[in-house]
Amino acid sequence: MSTIEKVSILGAETIHVGYGIQDHIVEVVINTKASSTYVIITDTNMGRTEPFSKLTQLFASKLKELRPESRLLQYQVSPGENNKSRETKAAVEDYLLQQGCTRDTVILAVGGGVIGDMIGFVAATFMRGVRYVQVPTTLLSMVDSSVGGKTAIDTPLGKNFVGAFYQPEYVFADVSFLKTLPTRQFINGMAEVVKTAAIWNEEEFTRLENFSKKFLEVVTAKVPDIESIKHELVKTVLESIRVKAEVVSSDEKETGLRNLLNFGHTIGHAIEAVLTPEALHGECVSVGMIKEAELARYLGILSQVAVARLSKCLVAYGLPVTIDDKEFLKKVGNKRHYVQLDTLLKKMAIDKKNDGSKIRCVLLESIGRCYQLKAHQISKQDLGFVLTDEVLVHPFKDQSLKSSTVIIPPGSKSISNRALILASLGKGTVRIKNLLHSDDTKHMLDAVTALGGAKITTEDNGETIVVEGNGGNFIATNEQLYLGNAGTASRFLTSVATLVKPNKNSLDDVILTGNARMQQRPIGPLVDALRANGSQVQYLNNEGSLPLVIKAGSGLKGGRIELAATISSQYVSSILMCAPYAEEEVTLKLVGGKPISVLYIDMTIAMMKSFGIEVKQSLTEEYTYIIPKGTYQNPQEYVIESDASSATYPLAFAALTGTSCTVPNIGSSSLQGDARFAVDVLKPMGCIVEQSATSTTVTGPPLGHLKPLPHVDMEPMTDAFLTASVVAAVAYDGKNSTAITGIANQRVKECDRIAAMVNELAKFGVKAHELPDGIEIQGVKLEQLVNPSTEKRGIKSYDDHRVAMSFSLLAGLCNQPVLIQERSCTGKTWPGWWDTLHSQFNIQLDGYELPFDADDSSLLIDKHANGDKSIIVIGMRAAGKSTLSKWMATFLGFKFLDLDDVFEQRVGTDIRTFIKQYGWEEFRSKEAAIAKEIFTEKSRGYVISTGGGIVEGEDARNTLKDYTKQGGIVLHLHRDLDETVVFLSADTTRPAYVNEIKDVWIRRENWYHECSNYHFYSSHCDNELEFKHLRNSFISYIKTITGLQVSELSRKRSAAVSLTFKDLNDVAEHLEEIAVGSEAIELRVDSLNKYSKTFVADQTATLRKYVNLPIIYTIRTESQGGLFPDHEVEQLEELLLLGIKLGVEYLDLQSNYPNSLIEKILERKAFTRIIISHYDNTGVLKWTNVEWKNKYNQAVSYGADIVKLVGTATSFQDNLDLEVFRSAANLKPLIAINRGEQGKLSRVLNTVFTPVTHDLIPKQSTNGSSGLLSINQINKAYAEIGGFTQKKFWIVGKPVDHSRSPNLHNAGYKKLNIPYTFDRFETDDASLAVKKLIHEDKNFGGLAVTMPLKLDIIKHVDELSEAAQLIGAVNTVIRSSNDPNKLYGDNTDWVGITTSFARHGVPNIENSNVNGLVVGGGGTSRAAVYALHDMGCKIIYMINRTSSKIREIKESFPADYNIQILETIEQVEAAASVSLVVSCVPADKPVDETLLNKLERFLYHGSTTKNGGFTPTLIEAAYKPRLTPVMRIAHEKYQWSVIPGVEMLVNQGERQFQLHTGFTPPYRVIHDAVVAE
């Protein structure tokens, strides 16, 4: 047994810590806590683990041995916070009672905090309190929840709201239990560990900083080897427990000291309350700690270094430090926008740790120490500031400004970097102060430590870095030196690495490497110079970039070194600093002209002098330096000069406010260019500047007396131009403006700074304009300064620290508070800027939150619609790329581009000739290059069709993949291979590779899949009509994948028929019939007889061809009652992704799929809706069990659009329980049913997408289908039990005895088995109909209204649809959905027209130039105009026998309908051609000659132009006779496609049926009922 450490709490040593101490636990409990009954309670996760089994087995055998008379009981509850509930507590208590447990019972709670808290609470109240022992098994519970005796359960209104203080007999923290703890839980626990050290124990904090790397390595490994860090872990747990026990002992009931443990929790809890359960406690506390630390910094209590240190440590343990952390966001997904300031403040106010509405936080004073030993009351204003990223700067003049201030801005970055290198090359100990902590310094510190060059420690809580230099003796290490993206570090260390000596194990390489970006940054000129000087340096990957291998011991020879210094002065500094250690004295000559940034070279030389080495400049040669041999002698102390660019802000503050400000460590001797700002800019503008060698003081003139600077060249201090600009904005003398030049480089910084200044200055009413290399600013009088509007979102920072800091100054000169966005961007160089403004300059700042922008669709849907981004089409030759691409281009209003054409244009010959001349390889590489160019050049508004072989080349494949990665659509068009072969064989003009097509396909198939993110399979078309259907289904597919159409989620009753066929092609002709009554159709992919991608794609195409319903794509695995093998996870993933590529409307994901799989699918899902399902086949899980609630909540938190839960009924009661469950689950639409014969009722009562079957679907095709009902059976049963009330529908008008509406509707009711009736009511009196049918009959369902009542009825309805208003007639009346006492009138005649056109293959014409014609001037003509406009006709022509009526129609429609009335034949001749005609003239008498003449001209032109790419189509409004004279002429004489009037009747009836009943009618059935007559 390993050693056991005991910690005492409240006076007793009851906390025992160790590794693998199960024996000890068992012995101590049994020996010291005598009882008749021991109960071990855990959760089912823990119950499965090895350390747990070991514990229970040992317990059982020991008990038998020591107390044979006692019994051991075991109970397991479901895991998770959801179960920390009253229900579960009750279940545990019931169990204990049933088992006859009495007051002497001892309970062992083995598990995480959930188990500890809840079982602790059970123990506290069971029999008024029984003894209990905690065995925490998560890191969090070991270090936190198990210590201190707080127990609790959650209620729906809040976490931990009900509980008690109740101390356990013992706490056994056995670290070996952590072996099975999931990584995320492990990391979660570290938040509390870091917290405890941060408030109490700096030494432990330092140890934790050093342990982080190893910790993260181990816990994130595929198979974590916890044993390998057991000592560190035990220590970690122990130290944390010690602190907590100490604090608790002095303050058990949390009245004072114990509050300190809540550091990070005030804000953390509020965040957790919003983001639970997606975010874990520790993660939220981690973010909370940083926010609370920033609060302390803001209040002037905590230093920036300490905040940075805390943040760095948390990050090193894999914890988030901001809500916008990428990994963290992935977990909380679209809940991010719930985290709003108001919400957080409310949550904080009700946190029970806060009393009343006062919010308290623990303030850190330094790492390891709190500011006073209590929590402090914090103002909402201060909290608001730290919790938001927008800031309102209040007017400076309202505040009590100090007349003088001393500010030390953060250290200079360049000086910090140099100081570190020199100190580690030097001999002796130096204390470096005011170091700027950046990536560069961090990587340099790590690297010199790894090379043994220096010992580095910190003092003053991290404020001082102590470097103990080793005189330049570096020893090779087998650790690669990783430098991230730290540019300066990589350059400085490359030269340093040449000084490294081999180590004793004759290891003689030093490897410098960095991240991907770093591996592209140049370092060539430096390496060349070093190589030329005898150093052995090699590139590992890319020539000219890191990683580098540097041979240790090869040294620097010295002598004359030449270096091109026109690229980077850092190369020069790098060699200069190492030069004293060369074998011979170095003469460094900079070649290639004037070196850039000479100031930085001077800075290096000056600093070398401070470290004891004096460089001489050659007197004879230009740009040549002589560096003597020697060793740097570290000074005792080196204070890093503050950053001179940063210093411009406080100095400008003084200038603008008429106060004084001193920066005590920058003066005239400074080598930083920006140090001249005060003298060269502020002084001539009217400030008093006093500068010594090392200090600068600026005093501003009285308010309003700054003078413009007609011209200043800021080339030596470009970064300071922004500060100068805001000062110039209020420098006014009535004549001059300020022109700043020499700053062209500022256009390519974090943003185009010149443009940014011009834009934002304008918001203050200050005119400025760009100069070729600068900016000119027209200063204004102070009182003319305009307040930038907060509503218009104030001032933008462009994520640029300098923009933000500059404008924070100008903001204060306004009369009103000014909003500055993204304030945290100042973190790049001065994270504490705002704190300085607040606590040193006394400026009032407020947090501000931009209003949540509900129009920002990215917050509502997970993926942006494609917009006008170009779409790339790939696929085999003859797959229909050109045709379908053109359809798509027409529909989207994009241009079509064929890449092959582009190729031929560019090379000037056709492809075949090109290949003959240059060969395939050249062709492919040229093709790839052109593709790459075109995809960028034509990235918007194009459909780009590619050559079939484009996927053959790797470059082209990468280009395609990159396109998808950037969110673009690459669509793979796929057609049956046999058809392709037939097609190509028939085409003799193509090269003769026909025989090899199959091989080609086999070779390319995977490439096509790999390179595309969408996939459309064109099904085989036998005839023209099928071809039209293909077009419709393709366009509908395009709408789905581009996000133009997102399937609507409705909660009304609907059914989804489940197709469990092996191959849909076998039943293709029955599919329409099978789908009758369903609102969606489920494709059970698992029941297909092949799982190949091609086959599955073909199945969806078949389905789409025959049924126009959303597809639910389901792969049910064997364990959930389906046919798909559970272990084929890879294939499962492929097929699920295929579903998304195929653009299915719904995808079913089983909750038992691996997490990573679910997450991946959710990430890729685009516009497909997700159903998350869970099946229980055992029947063991009753609906009263909280487990179902967990499953539901879990699915919701994953982001399911619909949740599907399927239980198994073993008794009728199961259905009733299910209904109770259903009524409580209303977060997301729920499909919940019971399988089994006894579960049928649940299918009848389910609302959304009830799974149904059909007589034509084989019964036994899958197991688990028992209890399935057809839609007819369900509706019948639902009616029988009173679910549907009887409803009556009528056709009213006169005459109505020939109306076919009753046939149509009644046939539909019958087919669907709904208990409605539809009758005739003949009258020409609208009031009578309303009185009799509606007012006097409570069963009234709806009216179909015909002549002559379509207008009269309007005055009786309360609401009108837009169509009814514009058409000016009502043909359908129902009760209003808002208020059943009101009536709603609609007109469905126009739908009859649009649907008929669509069913006849007229494509969507919204973006093409198609015109329409309406013949006639009656009521139907009005509907026709509405219909043609709705379809997208650009011009609607109207002709009639007489014009007066159509004039009236034209008048009554909006002008954008573009109705044109043609009266003369000449006008008709001059008109554009039309492709759609609606004929609304009576068909029972001959058509007027002249009218017919006009019509025929349209018919003639229409058939010759074929505008819109489809056969022009005419619809006849009259439905008798079936073939009217107009139809005959149109079809026979002009080859128009014609639609008989009866179709229109059926199609309008279909919509009417829907409005009346809420159900989609069976189309075929109602159609036949009308036509059959």
Q: Which of 117, 174, 446, 900 is the binder for ligand NAD (CB under 6 A)?
A: 117
Terminal C-alpha separation, the chain: 93
298 or 1153: CB nearest ligand NAD: 1153
C-alpha–C-alpha distance, residues 920 and 340, integer Å: 59
Per CB under 6 A, which region of 132-140, 935-943, 1305-1313, 1499-1507 contacts ligand NAD?
132-140
Of 286, 230, 154, 449, the C-alpha closest to 1186 is: 154
> x-or-dash pattern for ligand NAD, window 226-265, by CB under 6 A?
----------------------------------------
> x-or-dash pattern for ligand NAD, window 61-100, by CB under 6 A?
------------------xxx--x----------------
Which residue in 687, 825, 1433, 1480 is the catalytic one? 825
CB of 18 to ligand NAD, least distance (A): 15
Neighbours of 1295 (CB within 10 A): 11
Per CB under 6 A, which region of 101-109, 111-119, 126-134, 765-773 contacts ligand NAD?
111-119
CB of 823 to ligand NAD, least distance (A): 33
Scan for tokens 């080598």, then name that residue: 671
Residues 174-213 that bind ligand NAD (CB under 6 A): 177-178, 180-181, 185, 188
123 or 576: CB nearest ligand NAD: 123
* Chain length of the chain: 1573
Q: CA angle, 1097 as apex, 1171 and 1159 as ends, to 5°?
A: 35
C-alpha–C-alpha distance, residues 779 and 784, integer Å: 10
Counting beta carbons within 10 angstroms of the beta carbon of residue 1285, is it exposed (0 to 12), middle (13 to 18) or buried (19 or more)? Answer: exposed
- Residue 1145 falls in the annotated catalytic set: no
Q: CA angle, 1217 as apex, 1216 and 1223 as ends, to 5°?
A: 90
133 or 181: CB nearest ligand NAD: 181
CB of 261 to ligand NAD, least distance (A): 9
- Tell me the helices (H) and strands (E) count for the chain, helix number first: 55, 59
Concatenate the DSSP letters of all residues of 284-313 into one string.
HHHHHHHHHHHHHHHTTSS-HHHHHHHHHH
C-alpha–C-alpha distance, residues 307 and 293, integer Å: 6
In single-letter form, the type of residue at position 354 comes to: N
144 or 1516: CB nearest ligand NAD: 144
- Residue 932 falls in the annotated catalytic set: no
C-alpha–C-alpha distance, residues 459 and 453, integer Å: 20
111 or 525: CB nearest ligand NAD: 111
CB of 369 to ligand NAD, least distance (A): 23
CB of 271 to ligand NAD, least distance (A): 14
Q: Which of 112, 547, 1251, 1561 is the binder for ligand NAD (CB under 6 A)?
A: 112
Per CB under 6 A, which region of 106-114, 894-902, 1177-1185, 1263-1271 contacts ligand NAD?
106-114
C-alpha–C-alpha distance, residues 1393 and 479, integer Å: 75
CB of 1260 to ligand NAD, least distance (A): 39
Cis amide leading into 547 (omega within 30): yes
- Residue 825 falls in the annotated catalytic set: yes
Question: Would you state the structure tokens that stand for residue 805, as one six-digit string?
Answer: 């800091």
Scan for tokens 């930083």, then name that residue: 672
Residue 144 found at the interface with ligand NAD (CB under 6 A)? yes
3-state secondary structure of 606: helix
109 or 1296: CB nearest ligand NAD: 109
144 or 209: CB nearest ligand NAD: 144
Question: Would you state the structure tokens that stand for residue 1332, as one six-digit string?
Answer: 């009799």
Binding-site size, ligand NAD (CB under 6 A): 31
CB of 256 to ligand NAD, least distance (A): 17
3-state secondary structure of 50: helix
- The residues, ordered by sequence, that sit 6+ positions from 1185 with a Cβ below 8 Å of its Cβ are none
Q: Which of 150, 431, 1174, 1501 is the binder for ligand NAD (CB under 6 A)?
A: 150
Neighbours of 509 (CB within 10 A): 17
81 or 1082: CB nearest ligand NAD: 81
Scan for tokens 């794609």, then name that residue: 1097
C-alpha–C-alpha distance, residues 420 and 373, integer Å: 37
CB of 27 to ligand NAD, least distance (A): 21
Per CB under 6 A, which region of 172-180, 496-504, 666-674, 1523-1531 contacts ligand NAD?
172-180
CB of 168 to ligand NAD, least distance (A): 11
Residues 1052-1071 that bind ligand NAD (CB under 6 A): none
Which residue in 84, 269, 443, 1494 is the catalytic one? 269
Question: Would you state the structure tokens that stand for residue 627, as one six-digit string?
Answer: 């560096």
Torsions phi, psi for 602 (to 5 deg): -60, -40
Neighbours of 1206 (CB within 10 A): 20
Question: Would you state the structure tokens that stand for residue 479, as one six-digit string?
Answer: 């650790």
CB of 1194 to ligand NAD, least distance (A): 12
Q: What is the CA radius of gyration of the chain?
A: 40
Concatenate the DSSP letters of all residues of 1549-1561 into one string.
HHHHHHHHHSS--
53 or 995: CB nearest ligand NAD: 53
**CB of 815 closer than 8 Å to CB of 787:** yes
C-alpha–C-alpha distance, residues 468 and 471, integer Å: 9
Residue 160 found at the interface with ligand NAD (CB under 6 A)? yes
Q: Which of 148, 487, 1122, 1549 is the binder for ligand NAD (CB under 6 A)?
A: 148
117 or 1082: CB nearest ligand NAD: 117
CB of 1224 to ligand NAD, least distance (A): 22
C-alpha–C-alpha distance, residues 18 and 1458, integer Å: 85
Residues 966-1005 that bind ligand NAD (CB under 6 A): none
- Residue 254 falls in the annotated catalytic set: yes
CA dihedral 650, 652, 657, 659 (to 10 degrees): 60
- The residues, ordered by sequence, that sit 6+ positions from 657 with a Cβ below 8 Å of its Cβ are 396, 397, 401, 700, 703, 812
114 or 526: CB nearest ligand NAD: 114
Q: Starting at the earlier edge strand, list the strands of the sheet with 767-771.
A: 712-713, 738-741, 774-778, 767-771
Residues 653-712 that bind ligand NAD (CB under 6 A): none
114 or 889: CB nearest ligand NAD: 114
Per CB under 6 A, which region of 140-148, 1177-1185, 1335-1343, 1491-1499 contacts ligand NAD?
140-148
Q: Which of 14, 85, 134, 138 is the binder for ligand NAD (CB under 6 A)?
A: 138
- The residues, ordered by sequence, that sit 6+ positions from 1347 with a Cβ below 8 Å of its Cβ are 1293, 1294, 1419
> x-or-dash pattern for ligand NAD, window 17-56, by CB under 6 A?
--------------------------x-xx--x-------
Q: Which of 82, 88, 137, 1190 is the binder for ligand NAD (CB under 6 A)?
A: 137
> x-or-dash pattern for ligand NAD, window 538-567, by CB under 6 A?
------------------------------
C-alpha–C-alpha distance, residues 421 and 717, integer Å: 25
Which residue in 265, 1141, 1182, 1204 is the catalytic one? 1204
- The residues, ordered by sequence, that sit 6+ positions from 446 with a Cβ below 8 Å of its Cβ are 481, 482
3-state secondary structure of 1012: coil
Which residue in 87, 227, 254, 1406 is the catalytic one? 254
CB of 1246 to ligand NAD, least distance (A): 31
Q: Which residues bind ligand NAD (CB under 6 A)?
A: 43, 45-46, 49, 79-81, 84, 111-115, 117, 137-138, 140-141, 144-145, 148, 150, 159-160, 177-178, 180-181, 185, 188, 281
Give catalytic residue positions.
254, 269, 825, 1204
